[in-house]
Structure 1
Amino acid sequence: MQIRGIGAGRAKWVVRYRNQLGGYLREDQLDEVFVLRDAPDLRDSLKKYTFVEPGFAPKLVNVNTATFDELYLHPYIGKPRARIIVAYRNQHGPFKRVEDLKQIPILKVEDWEKMRPYVRCE
């Protein structure tokens, strides 16, 4: 909130999105925050004064044990992908490696690359 133009409301959205993700890994993820989409100057200011700690490990979602409700809450998964992941897991058994998600035919490569740092298999 100390950054000009970032009040309590916008700060709350930035923190909420960070928590939904499990933590920011790259500064360009700020571009995805709803209340900053139409405010490029604010995004640039925020990027200038924020950072991602080197070696930061985000909160991970286990795609083998997470329920549909737990999966769809992650911004990079959402409801359609959560349904697909759960259905594929139920049909084919647990994923052995995160890369096994690539076997889901309708999961796009760019979707997998975004969710990759946030998912795990155990």
Structure 2
Amino acid sequence: MVNWRLSQGGWQGRLVEIDRAEPLVAQFEVDINSADWPELIQLPGIGETLARRIVASRETDGPFADNDDLCRVPGIGPKTLDRIRPYLRPMPDVDNVAGK
């Protein structure tokens, strides 16, 4: 009975407006030279097969020189690279690391 009365606006029942925060988008960065395949599949458009190809390429051909070097992996082209680029950790400048 109380619920019915409240649903009919009794006892000064009224709609309350609730301020909601904007939804948060998860932000993360992946280091392509150290991430395992489970980390890599968190990237948009990268499934298990492609993630395993990235790891295999890194193991056979050595570390990626820069993020653009991901295009050497079969299945990653310019469109895929552009889609995942915001999530890739920037690569250090080799000249600065070597002290040149």
TM > 0.5: yes
Taking the TM superposition and a 5 Å limit, the aligned residue runs for 1:25-104 are: 59-104=28-73
Q: RMSD of the TM alignment (CA)?
A: 2.3
Structure 2: unaligned runs, 5 residues or longer: 1-17, 93-100
Q: How many residues align?
A: 73
Moved over 6 A (4+): none
Query: Structure 1, residues 78-97: CA drift from partner, whole Å, max 9, x if none?
Result: 32321111111111011011
Gaps of 5+ in 1: 4-10, 23-58
Q: Which amino acid aligns with 1:99?
A: D
Higher helix share: 1
Q: Spell out, residue by residue over 1:49-90, the C-alpha distance to the aligned partner (whole angstroms, 9 max, x if none).
A: xxxxxxxxxx31000001111111233423232111111111
TM-score using structure 1 length: 0.50
Shift of 1:99: 0.8
